[in-house]
Structure 1
Amino acid sequence: MKQRNFDFSKPQRQSLIGVVVLFVNTLQKSVRALWPIILVYLFRNKTTTSLLEIYSGIFGIVFCIVLIAFLRYWFFQFYIDYSQNEFVIESGIFNKTKTTIPFHKIQKVTIDQSLIQRIFKVYKLELDTAGSDKKEASIKAISEEMALELKSSLVQNDPKKTFVEENQYQEVGSPKSLISISIASLLKIGITANYLASFAYLILVFSTISENLKQIGREDVIENNMSQLEKLPISSLFFGFLFFIITAVLVINLVLTLVKYFNFNIRKDGKSFVLNYGLLNVKNTIISPEKVQIVKWTQNFFQKKLNVNTIEIFQASSEMKRASAKDKTKIPGCNLNEKEKIIALLLDKIPSFDKVLYPNIRKLIVGIFFFVLLPVVLGFVINGIVQRFSLSTMIVILLLYVFFMGVILLFSYKNYRLFVSDDFIMKQSGAWDIDREIIEPYKIQAVKTHQFFWQKWTDIGSVVLYTAGGRISFSTTNYTAIKKEVNVWLYQVETSKRNWM
Structure 2
Amino acid sequence: MMSEPKRLHPAAVILNLSHTIIQTIKNIILPFFFVYIVDSNHTVRFYGAIALGVLFIWLVAASIIKWRKFSYRIEDDEFRIEEGLFVTKKRYISIDRIQTMNTSAGVVQQIFKLVKLQIETAGGGKEAEAVLSAISVEEAERIKEAVFKKKAERHSIDTEEGLSEAKEAVPDAEPQVSYSMNAKELLMAASTSGGIGVIISAVFALISQLDEVLPMDWLFGKFSFLQHANIGIYAVLIFIGLFITWILSIAGMMFKYANFQIIKKEQELVISRGIIEKHQVTIPLRKIQAIKIKENIIRQLFGFATVSIVSAGGGGDSEKAEGASTILFPMIHKKKLPGMLRTFTPEYTVEENRRHLPQRALKRYLFRATIFSIFLIIPLCIFFQPWGYFSIVLLPIELFFGYLAYKDAAWVISGDRLQLTSRFIGRTTAIVLRKRMQVCKASQSYFQKKGKLYTLSTSVKSSSHMEELTVRDVGEEDTDFILNWYSYEKADG
Alpha-carbon distance between aligned partners in 2 of 1:159 and 1:147, rounded to the nearest angstrom: 20
Secondary structure (helix, strand or coil) at the match of 2:144 reads helix
Structure 1 46/182 Cα, relative in aligned 2: closer, same or farther at 3 Å?
A: same
Alpha-carbon distance between aligned partners in 1 of 2:331 and 2:447, rounded to the nearest angstrom: 45
Secondary structure (helix, strand or coil) at the match of 1:463 reads strand
How far off is 1:288 after superposition? 0.8
Q: Give the one of 468, 472, 476 matched to 2:469.
A: 472
What is the 5 A alignment of 1:152-231?
Answer: 152-155=145-148, 158=152, 168=167, 171-173=170-172, 175-176=174-175, 178-194=178-194, 197-222=195-220, 224-225=222-223, 227-231=224-228
Alpha-carbon distance between aligned partners in 1 of 2:353 and 2:27, rounded to the nearest angstrom: 54
Matched with 1:409 is 402
1:129 maps to amino acid:
T
1:347 maps to amino acid:
T
Counterpart check, 1:459 vs 2:457: no
Q: Give the one of 45, 48, 65 matched to 2:59.
A: 65
Matched with 2:324 is 327
Q: Give the one of 277, 282, 286 matched to 1:286.
A: 282
Alpha-carbon distance between aligned partners in 1 of 2:322 and 2:353, rounded to the nearest angstrom: 32
Alpha-carbon distance between aligned partners in 1 of 2:24 and 2:377, rounded to the nearest angstrom: 48
Tell me if the contact between 1:210 and 1:222 (Cα under 8 Å) persists in the aligned partners: no
Counterpart check, 1:272 vs 2:271: no
2:167 maps to amino acid:
Q
Alpha-carbon distance between aligned partners in 2 of 1:27 and 1:141, rounded to the nearest angstrom: 18
Q: Give the one of 46, 49, 72 matched to 1:78.
A: 72
How far off is 1:70 after superposition? 2.0
1:99 maps to amino acid:
R
How high is the sequence identity, in percent, across the aligned residues?
18
2:326 maps to amino acid:
T
Alpha-carbon distance between aligned partners in 2 of 1:51 and 1:459, rounded to the nearest angstrom: 73
Structure 1 70/155 Cα, relative in aligned 2: closer, same or farther at 3 Å?
A: same
How far off is 1:260 after superposition? 0.7
Secondary structure (helix, strand or coil) at the match of 1:173 reads coil
1:202 maps to amino acid:
I
How far off is 1:186 after superposition? 0.8
1:49 maps to amino acid:
T
Tell me if the contact between 2:199 and 2:249 (Cα under 8 Å) persists in the aligned partners: no
1:460-481: CA deviations, max 9, x gaps? 2122211113121122112333
Tell me if the contact between 2:457 and 2:470 (Cα under 8 Å) persists in the aligned partners: yes
1:73-98: CA deviations, max 9, x gaps? 22222233454xx4333322345444
Q: TM-score, normalised by structure 1?
A: 0.84
Alpha-carbon distance between aligned partners in 1 of 2:480 and 2:3, rounded to the nearest angstrom: 52
Secondary structure (helix, strand or coil) at the match of 1:445 reads strand
1:378 maps to amino acid:
L
Matched with 1:4 is none
Counterpart check, 1:430 vs 2:423: yes
Alpha-carbon distance between aligned partners in 2 of 1:169 and 1:422, rounded to the nearest angstrom: 31
Tell me if the contact between 2:438 and 2:459 (Cα under 8 Å) persists in the aligned partners: yes
Matched with 1:138 is 131
2:193 maps to amino acid:
A
Matched with 2:393 is 400
1:50-107: CA deviations, max 9, x gaps? 8874554333212211221122222222233454xx4333322345444344445444
Tell me if the contact between 2:126 and 2:314 (Cα under 8 Å) persists in the aligned partners: no
How far off is 1:333 after superposition? 2.2
Structure 1 363/212 Cα, relative in aligned 2: closer, same or farther at 3 Å?
A: farther
Counterpart check, 1:347 vs 2:340: no
Q: Give the one of 402, 426, 434 matched to 1:441.
A: 434
Q: Give the one of 104, 109, 113 matched to 2:105.
A: 113
Alpha-carbon distance between aligned partners in 2 of 1:376 and 1:50, rounded to the nearest angstrom: 57
Alpha-carbon distance between aligned partners in 2 of 1:430 and 1:404, rounded to the nearest angstrom: 15
Alpha-carbon distance between aligned partners in 1 of 2:448 and 2:62, rounded to the nearest angstrom: 63
Q: Give the one of 364, 378, 381 matched to 2:379.
A: 381
2:279 maps to amino acid:
K
Count of aligned positions: 476
1:87 maps to amino acid:
F
Matched with 1:3 is none
Secondary structure (helix, strand or coil) at the match of 1:158 reads helix
RMSD, matched Cα: 3.3
Alpha-carbon distance between aligned partners in 1 of 2:267 and 2:6, rounded to the nearest angstrom: 28
Counterpart check, 1:34 vs 2:19: no
Secondary structure (helix, strand or coil) at the match of 1:11 reads coil
Tell me if the contact between 1:444 and 1:493 (Cα under 8 Å) persists in the aligned partners: no
1:146-194: CA deviations, max 9, x gaps? 1222234445651568995799379513653601112331111112232
Structure 1 192/317 Cα, relative in aligned 2: closer, same or farther at 3 Å?
A: same
Task: Could you tell me which runs of 5 or more consecutive residues in structure 2 were left unpaired when the two chains were aligned.
Answer: none
Task: Could you tell me which runs of 5 or more consecutive residues in structure 1 were left unpaired when the two chains were aligned.
Answer: 1-6, 497-501
How far off is 1:292 after superposition? 0.9
1:12 maps to amino acid:
K
Alpha-carbon distance between aligned partners in 2 of 1:417 and 1:186, rounded to the nearest angstrom: 30
Q: Give the one of 296, 302, 323 matched to 2:292.
A: 296
Secondary structure (helix, strand or coil) at the match of 2:262 reads strand
Q: Give the one of 35, 38, 49 matched to 2:43.
A: 49
Secondary structure (helix, strand or coil) at the match of 2:101 reads strand
Query: Which of 230-239 and 339-348 deviates more?
Result: 339-348
Tell me if the contact between 2:167 and 2:173 (Cα under 8 Å) persists in the aligned partners: no
Query: Which of 279-288 and 266-275 deviates more?
Result: 266-275
Structure 1 105/231 Cα, relative in aligned 2: closer, same or farther at 3 Å?
A: farther
1:116-137: CA deviations, max 9, x gaps? 2222332211133331322222
Matched with 2:16 is 22
1:253-286: CA deviations, max 9, x gaps? 3112111111111122332121111111110111
Structure 1 205/403 Cα, relative in aligned 2: closer, same or farther at 3 Å?
A: same
Secondary structure (helix, strand or coil) at the match of 1:128 reads strand
**Runs of 4+ with deviation above 6 angstroms:** 160-163
Structure 1 116/482 Cα, relative in aligned 2: closer, same or farther at 3 Å?
A: same
Tell me if the contact between 2:99 and 2:314 (Cα under 8 Å) persists in the aligned partners: no
Tell me if the contact between 1:123 and 1:142 (Cα under 8 Å) persists in the aligned partners: yes
How far off is 1:215 after superposition? 1.2
2:398 maps to amino acid:
M
